[in-house]
Amino acid sequence: MSEPHDILPSDRLPVTIEEEMRSSYLAYAMSVIVSRALPDVRDGLKPVHRRILYAMRESGFTADKPYRKSARAVGDVMGKYHPHGDSSIYDAMVRMAQSWSMRVRLVDGQGNFGSVDGDSPAAMRYTEARLAKSSSFLLDDIDRDTVAFQPNYDESEQEPQVLPAAFPNLLVNGASGIAVGMATNIPPHNPGEVIDAVLALIANPDMTLEELMQIVPGPDFPTGGIIMGRRGIRQAYETGRGSIPVRARAEIEEIRKDRFAIVVTEIPYQVNKATLQEKIADLVRSKDIEGISDIRDESDRSGMRVVIELKRDATPEVVLNQLYRFTQLQTSFSVNMLALDEGRPRTMGLRDVLDAFIRFREDVILRRARFDLNKARDRGHLLVGLVLAVANIDEVIALIRSAPDAATAREQLMTRTWPAADVEPLLELIHDEGNVIVDGRVHLTEAQARGILELRLQRLTGLEREKIQGELAEVSARITELLEIIGSHVRRMEVMRDELQAARAALADPRCTEISDALGDQSDESLIEPGQMVVTITRDGFIKRTPLELFRSQNRGGRGRTAAGRRGDDIVIRSFNAHTHQWVLFFSSGGKAYRMKVWHLPEAAPTAKGRALVNLLPELGEDTITAVLPLPQDEELWEDLHLVFATASGNVRRNRLSDFRNIRSSGLIAMKLDENDLLIGVATCREGQDVFLATRNARAIRFQITDDVLRVFAGRGSTGVRGIRLADGDRVVSLAVLNHVEASVEERAAYLRAANAHRRVLAAQSGDEGLEEEIEDNSELASDDEGLEEILADSPLSEDRYAELEAQEQILLTVTDTGFGRRSSAYDYRVSGRGGQGINNMTFSNARRGREVVGTLVTLDGTDVMMVTDTGRLIRLPVEQVRVMSRQAGGVTLFRVDGDERIISVFPVMEDDTETEDGAEAEDAASTEGGETAPASSADGDKADD
């Protein structure tokens, strides 16, 4: 026998908790999906919006009536149809009244209904509302059995399951909502374009999506903006899902002299303007966006206007791109066109939504025609009775007078038969089947008998009898038309077309949102401020970029400033000047090449250590970067350029630059190196130019770049050929590419004698204090008053040939490890064959002038050079302050070093607009012996490091 607690009542069954949870959750989910969160594809409304519009119509709050308190409308909706909180109903009503939320407003509000800044609307007891005129196209004919009705929540009222919308409201106003396990986000569209698409689809049901998109190119947001690209639109219209980038409309205006501002007049859909401004201010405070000095909201009744004022040195385009990237000035609208179709959620594309609307609207027209037909037939049936009564008026009057009461009179009128001759054509005309003709006579129906009894005597006049006949003809024509609509699909499409055209005339307006064919995905490069950078690499593999303007220009002999912070004994071994948008090739000690844009490098202050290269180039491994080459910004120039490689052991090789166009992140084999060898330089070159190699022990060689001397290597895996034969302990320290000038040995020698003599004359005339340093190495000087004509008097060169050679002359700067240096003419280095021992590059008369050459590089007038010491100090020096001397000269003091401090790097600064600080000349005049300048203030007010 079972225990008592095991016995269940007869009306209960055991159910597992899993089954109960599953069934209950599914029921709840479907309730939310169908009855709350998702719009219907037919009228584009959720239940709450549908109930608001219907309740306002039933209460008489139409567009032709005065405004009524919003609280009253909310109360009617809540009490009759929507038993939820009044705040949710009021919020839905408010949104339908906001011009920045709805493409076509459905509620006409009066009072404070919020703002695009996110301000809350006033309480519903303060605001007033009525239906907008556009709502009539959703509600018209709802009382003509066009849609099905259902009982309300307590079955005391009837509410429509859907509104008989005369235009595709789902596309026009869009929708958004979150259900259980699904969500919808449909963008608004231009009403004129959407209606035109429906008309085109009616005319040609076989239209393709591409043809439809010629009519509906994309969403049309009420807040305007610019849609960037059409790919996301195409995907959304085809599959129902897609991402559409939307950008604010902003213009750059010059508000004052040399001061610009970004003026925003339209923002993306559903973006809070106040929150947007707060976000911009936060980014400015955190220095994520620089260049903004002020933000003002100048919006008024005439439209939106947010002014973002920029600093004087800011680049407006870059700041604007940064705003697009980091703020909601550019957003992506995630399209998810999910709606209820026949009560089931379905993701639809553009064509699916339009087809569903056309099917629904045809059904509305069909139901309305049937309703109107029944009404017309009822009216025609009554008119037939009136015609019979008028034709037999004497008998009818006699019958009515003899009847004791109205009921008896009605029965007698229905019992008696009447001649059918007068109404037989009419019965056929109105397709009336209520009166049956037997033996030429017809019985009246109850409705006709009642109509006769209610007939007023004035209708018996001749004029009234004609009106009855005319009305009967009209009813007959209307019935014929309705029967044609009911029986013909083509006729229903014609009716739909006419009604759509009427809706278009009332709703269409110009497009708000522009569609740009430009892609909205910004490259990171567009966010980077263009400018010159000093890129610094240390021995331990740290790299950084620093804005060039942070390094002030000093006179020669200055003390410089700290260039980089050091970790232990780490020192700077390579620095160069490049633009932020330039490609840079990195060549490793293992012979591999890597490629990166300058703006990808970490930006840091002059004293910062930077970032380890191994973190930027993970495939670098244990190798170190031994050569770096900034490439031309214009990649079209790469086709005509070659790369020349030089190693410390004196090997050289030539390759096409295009061989290095595609470099994967893991690197690319650039050159095969001998054991213990490394790359010391890579330069771009062209056929016919000259290669110049300088060694540590002051040797140099120059040879021409031709196929006979230095051919183009097809592969990247060779060690190259010998460029210079080195002595024991020597190594190559510099590679340069020079222009080849056709001149004989005699012409070059004559030019050098004349040019050097003329330069010494100019130096003596200018009172250069450093002239004594040069006299130590040059015994011959021209007289102070000797001019170029006198110098050329004994020369084999004519003035024209001298001028020609002068125009093609290149100047080389050679710097020693002790800070001495001099400039020499490239003509001083003869062109020889490849692989020789070279010629002397500099004379070291004593240890003070140097023990080895740090580098030899090409310099241009108007540019600066930078020198870095092993202690991290750096100086920037105009090359004009270093005179051009003989190749044999020991040079002058360029950079005063202390004790064992040594110059380890020299590189050019290719910029001609550097500014010498105020007071530099005075400081130079008050300098100590040897031309050393006193410490001067930097551009930011800090003193230079001693």
Kindly list the catalytic residues: 126
CB atoms under 10 Å from CB of 439, counted, come to: 7
Spatial separation of the C-alpha atoms in residues 607 and 615, rounded to whole Å:
20
212, 201 Cβ separation under 8 angstroms: yes
Q: Give Cα separations from 698 to 85, 572, 648, 730 (angstroms).
A: 91, 22, 14, 9
Spatial separation of the C-alpha atoms in residues 896 and 694, rounded to whole Å:
23
Contacts of 345 (CB under 8 A, 6+ apart): 33, 38, 179, 182, 338, 339
Question: Alpha helix locations (H) across 286-349?
Answer: 316-326
Pick the closest to residue 567 from 542, 537, 534 (CA basis).
542
C-alpha torsion sign, points 14, 18, 21, 23: negative
Spatial separation of the C-alpha atoms in residues 883 and 780, rounded to whole Å:
16
Tokens representing 693 are: 């190699």
Spatial separation of the C-alpha atoms in residues 145 and 830, rounded to whole Å:
104
Length of the chain: 946
β-pair type (884-885, 820-825): parallel
Q: What are phi and psi of 900, to 5 degrees?
A: -90, 5
Report the side by side order of strands in the sheet with 625-630: 625-630, 583-588, 592-597, 668-669
**DSSP 8-state class, residue 9:** P
Spatial separation of the C-alpha atoms in residues 493 and 490, rounded to whole Å:
5
**DSSP 8-state class, residue 156:** S
Spatial separation of the C-alpha atoms in residues 411 and 403, rounded to whole Å:
10
**DSSP 8-state class, residue 553:** B
643, 661 Cβ separation under 8 angstroms: no
The three-state secondary structure class of 266 is strand
The three-state secondary structure class of 233 is helix
Spatial separation of the C-alpha atoms in residues 822 and 816, rounded to whole Å:
9
Pick the closest to residue 104 from 198, 196, 220 (CA basis).
220
556, 881 Cβ separation under 8 angstroms: yes
Spatial separation of the C-alpha atoms in residues 917 and 552, rounded to whole Å:
7
C-alpha torsion sign, points 886, 889, 892, 897: positive
Residue type, 611: R
β-pair type (699-704, 721-722): unpaired
Tokens representing 878 are: 């105009």
Give Cα 24 distance to the centre of its chain.
45
Q: Give Cα separations from 49 to 135, 303, 388, 538 (angstroms).
A: 11, 28, 51, 67
868, 561 Cβ separation under 8 angstroms: no
Give, in degrees to the nearest 5, the angle at Cα 111 between 106 and 113.
60
Pick the closest to residue 842 from 888, 884, 811 (CA basis).
888
167, 507 Cβ separation under 8 angstroms: yes
Pick the closest to residue 269 from 204, 220, 340 (CA basis).
220
**DSSP 8-state class, residue 489:** H
Spatial separation of the C-alpha atoms in residues 92 and 186, rounded to whole Å:
17
535, 551 Cβ separation under 8 angstroms: no
